[in-house]
A and B are shown apart, each in its own frame.
Chain A
Amino acid sequence: MSKEIELLKRKFERERNARKEAEQLLEIKSLELYQSNLQLQKANENKEVIIQQRTDELRASETHYQSLVESISDLICKTTLDGKITFVNKVTTQTLGYSIDEIIGRHIFDFIAPEYKQMAHNFIADQLKYQNCISYIEFPLLTKQGDEKWLGNNIQFIDSKCLNCEKKYKKLAGKIKTIKGENCNFTEVVIVARDISRQKESEEINLRQSIQLEKFYNQQVIISEVALELNTLNSFPERVNLILKKIGKHINVSRVYIFENSKDNMETSNTFEWCNKGIHQQIKDLQNIPYVLIPSWKDKLINDRIIYSENINELPDDIKDILQPQGIHSIIVLPLFITNQFYGFIGFDENSADRKWDKSEIELLRTISNIVSNAFERRRIEKNLKLSEQENSAIIDSIPDYIFIIDNNNWITSHKGGTIEVFPFLKKNYENTDLYKILPEDIAQKLEIALNECRSNGHFQFEYECVREHLPSSFEVRMIRMNKYEIISIVRDVTSIKENEEQLKLAKEIAENANRTKSEFLANVSHEIRTPMNAILGFSEILLDKVEDKIYQGYLKTILTSGRTLLSLINDILDLSKIEAGKLEVEFEPINYIDIIKDIEQVFAPKIQKKQLSFEIITAPNLPAYIFMDEVRFYQILFNLVGNAIKFTKKGYIKLETNFELTSDPDKINLIIEIEDTGIGIPKDQVGLIFEAFTQQSGQSNRQFEGTGLGLTITKKLIQKMNGTINATSQVGKGSIFRVDFKDIQLAEIKSNNDKSNDLNDRQIIFEPATIMIVDDIDFNIKVLKTMIEYEQFTFLEAYSGESAIEMLETETPDIIFMDIRMPGMSGISATEIIKDKMNSNTPVIAFTASAMQNQLDLIKNLFDGFLRKPITKKTLTQTLQDHLKYSIGKPLENENEKDHKYDFKEDENCINVAPIVLEKIRKELLQEWENISGNLVIFEIEDFANKLEKISTEYDCKVFIDYSQNLRESLNSFDVELIETSLFEFKYIFDAIEKKHKKQI
């Protein structure tokens, strides 16, 4: 219950609040109402004021209007129907100069100028007659002073109805001349007139202007006629004559003419002429007139661009003299220019008495002369065009090709050249016909494909063959899309070109074959020469050792040096032949670049020293140690280039600089080697030739610079073979730079096979006793091999032919056989085949040859157990023996306290005892020499050194050095640079060892 009361309470509360609010709102509203009432009252008061103001304004405007009416500028006059004036306004009296009294009552016609009176009378009478209530007429009035005043008169016949006549008021508002009354009863006339004197004056001016305008119009007409006439160049002379006539008639002169200059502009001739009636033609007389006769004429035309005179007597004498006889009185001549060149002139003569030329006429003639100039210019261009077109078509006609134009339907629309020759099968009337109807299907198909290709690509080319006059013929077809619709197709007979190509190809193959054969022949011959050279050089050296007579020793030395030169020449030729025969193989293996550079440095050190040059070696510090290269060939390249640099340099320096570039492949680098010298240099025109075979720089004296001229050729070919390039830059007298670039050289992480530390280990290998068979037809080769296989525990069997070897093998069983390949009678290969296949022997057979041809190598590798190339090196020989014979490894040499297997220090007490004297003597007499020859490796110098050492050591009975001397001499016989080097190096080792041991003893 209390809840409901609570609810009701709240409802009541809300109602009360709402009522209170409503009352408040009402109060506000009534206040607003009161205020709006106040405003309304105020507004009413304002309205009264406004009405008063408006009334005042209206009055003012009425006054204003009246004054306006008063000041109206038209004359207003009222008359009776018979013309008596009953009213005039102020303006009328003012205009006419009469007072009102002088006007009123008089007749209107009294004031009209006498000559217009009749006209005005008739007009007004007519208007009345035709019931025209409003009409307009112009006539002049006479003022009191007797002046004429032109008035435009609006004449109105007035009826009492007029005030309500809508028609009248409507018409009056617009501009009308006449309206008809409708059964009006006119009582009076009102004339409203306006002074139009000024207007009349301006009308006169207009008239004059329109005459002028007409003249201009006529001039425009003549200009367009002339332009139109000269628009086409057909029947040009007739047209020019016609326009001369038109102009002549238009400006009414005696003669119009055109002169054209000669090509050299020295003379001028009358080429076109028009004469008015009664004037004689002069064209025939006025030909080839030299300008020299009338210098002023040309002068004026070029500089003033006009000759103009109304009286020719004013003109210079030279002109006057030529004009006067022609009866000319006045003249206008205008020049014609073609592409800014004085070409001739157009002239207008007047023979009658002095004529005045209008300014506009002169301008007209100037315009016409321009049009004529243009026409002549166009005529000339067209002539030239025609000429060049003729030339072009003559050129096209002389081309032996056949040209077709083919449209989008694949129809031939036009052609040039004898089509039958190109398409002997082409049917007649082929133009504008489907391809398939005029050509055999296969060719039409080919053509259709080609046309489609050409349409999409813009051009296409193909060849086709066909039989023409029983002979196979070849044609080359080139198609070019000319535009959307047409393709130009050029067909050329290439039968003879094809034949020539074939023959050339054949000739090239023959030549290449011949060249290969030559190279093979050279390689073979070289090999054959090298073999006897081995004997010549070997035995010469042995003899040099034995012969004591100084003269003979000299001869022998000459034989040796000549022999070595010959050998190097042969080696070069062999290399080149191999390269040219494509039989040079390069084998890439990891090499130590720095080692090679060091070798090169060492090898050339003596020469550098001798010539007092400096040898600068710069190697990029971070150059990777091992790279993949063919070591032998790489060495050869550097050897040749550095050797060359030294050879041609008298003073200064040789620089060998090595740099490298990283490539995108982290395992590859680009190697850049530059060999710079300060030598004689190469003239610019010969830089390109130095890499060609058998060319030395011209004028290069062979006496001064020995050599085969093959060095650089071989070097370049080797570099190319190894994917490199070589370039030379040079300046005569200053020196040369040879730059070698090897791209993408593979880096090697592993250690080189050639690690020198292994070399000395050879000495520690101890072979078990074995029998070795050597088969060679040349005794010397057997001896050399035996010397090199120096172990005492071996027994040798010698056979001088394949046959004797096989015979020997019936009874003997060697542990290894060395077999020469090239032998008279049975070859090494045949012998080995018998040994292996027929005798079923297990004995390893090692091929032993100077032959280096790759094709034979494959056969050898398959058949033999090993392969040794002459000349044989100690290292490879030992390796081969290790591969096939039993052996053990001794203690390493580095252990200096232990016994060297060759040089026994412990047992050689005497040597150590005499050491101070011996070592001192050697230090004094030989150490310097040893250092020199170590870098030099000149064989007879080393031999000399060995002999001297042996002499000293024998004197003091120092066995270690005696043994060493003999070994060194033996190593010389092998021609093995490596072995010789090793032997030479051992000298210092022994020297130091003895010195050490001696010091220990003390």
Chain B
Amino acid sequence: MKGIIFKVLLEMVEDKFGYEMVDTIIEESKLPNDGAYTTVGTYPHTEIVTLVSNLSKHSNIEVAKLLEVFGEHAFSIFAEAYKQMFEGQNNAFKFLSSVEGTIHVEVLKLYPEAQLPTLVTSSMNNNKMVLIYKSTRAMSDFAKGLIVGCLKHFNEEASIEDLPLKEDQTEVQFTLTIKK
């Protein structure tokens, strides 16, 4: 898991709940690096799961919701940090459909060791888009948050309906319908 994700998460927690919360969940999570995350580093995926579940415990907000909010927030950070990725992109559907073909390809160029989820567009028209998320990490809620963030970024409104294709959430289908 890329360090930027951890940074974004911890910053978001600090913004919303204060540094005390950050400190609590880091302490509780018994992390090997004691929470010293850097954007360019790579860290085990389990650490983010531990952090989020501890956050959930202390904030009384369920993990899924936290992940979704986190995803939404992360998208805004990414959009700011990787502006070049958004060149020539003018709507959410187009951007989302290019994630697998361009963004993930670019990410892999930078970080060949990165283990990325796949987000395949299974069907798309002007009003409706069906995306299939696949990842052994089962972080579809985070993905959903990213999609929400993306829609917000392009100032679009759409309903998102998620349908697990596998019980363990390693495969989830998102159906996006533009609201008019």
Contact = CB atoms under 8 A, between A and B. Distances in A.
A14 B20 contact: no
Interface in A412-444: none
Interface bracket on A: 10 to 19
A504 interface: no
B35 A25 contact: no
Nearest to A6: B23
Interface of B is mostly: loop
Interface string B36-51: 1111110000000000
* B36, B37, B39, B41 interface centre (most CB from chain A within 10 Å): B36
Contacts of A506: none
B149 to A, nearest CB: 24
Given A22-B38, A22-B41, A25-B40, A7 B33 contact: no
Pick from A15, A17, A19 the residue with the most CB of B within 10 Å: A17
Contacts of A106: none
17 contacts: A7-B19, A7-B20, A11-B19, A11-B22, A11-B23, A13-B34, A14-B34, A14-B35, A15-B36, A18-B36, A18-B37, A21-B36, A21-B38, A22-B38, A22-B40, A22-B41, A25-B38
Interface in A7-30: 7-8, 10-11, 13-19, 21-22, 25-26, 29
Nearest to A29: B40
Interface in B12-28: 19-20, 22-23, 26
A7 to B, nearest CB: 5
Contacts of A8: 19
Contacts of B19: 7-8, 11
B23 A10 contact: yes
Given A8-B19, A14-B34, A21-B41, 17 more contacts: A7-B20, A7-B23, A11-B19, A13-B36, A14-B26, A16-B36, A17-B33, A17-B36, A19-B38, A21-B36, A21-B38, A22-B39, A22-B40, A22-B41, A25-B38, A26-B40, A29-B40
Nearest to B36: A17
Contacts of B38: 18-19, 21-22, 25
Interface of B: 19-20, 22-23, 26, 33-41
Contacts of A13: 34, 36
Contacts of B22: 11
Contacts of B34: 13-14, 17
A32 to B, nearest CB: 11
- Would you list the 5 A-B pairs with minimal beta carbon distance, nearest first? A17-B36, A22-B38, A18-B36, A18-B38, A14-B36
Contacts of B20: 7
B36 to A, nearest CB: 3
Nearest to A25: B40
Nearest to A14: B36
B1 to A, nearest CB: 15
A7 B26 CA distance: 12
A842 B40 CA distance: 135
Contacts of A25: 38, 40-41
A729 to B, nearest CB: 83
A29 B112 CA distance: 13
A22 B34 CA distance: 15
B180 to A, nearest CB: 46
Contacts of B36: 13-18, 21
A855 B109 CA distance: 121
Contacts of A15: 36
B114 to A, nearest CB: 14
B56 to A, nearest CB: 21
A542 B19 CA distance: 148
Nearest to A11: B19
A909 B39 CA distance: 146
Contacts of A26: 40
B103 to A, nearest CB: 21
A11 B22 CA distance: 9
B35 to A, nearest CB: 5
A16 B35 CA distance: 11
B14 to A, nearest CB: 9
Nearest to A16: B36
A18 B36 CA distance: 5
Interface in A529-556: none
A701 to B, nearest CB: 105
Contacts of A18: 36-38
B58 to A, nearest CB: 15
Interface string A823-854: 00000000000000000000000000000000
Q: Which of B20, B39, B40 has the most CB of A within 10 A?
A: B40
Nearest to B22: A11
B23 to A, nearest CB: 5
B26 to A, nearest CB: 8
B31 to A, nearest CB: 10
A10 B33 CA distance: 12
Contacts of A10: 23
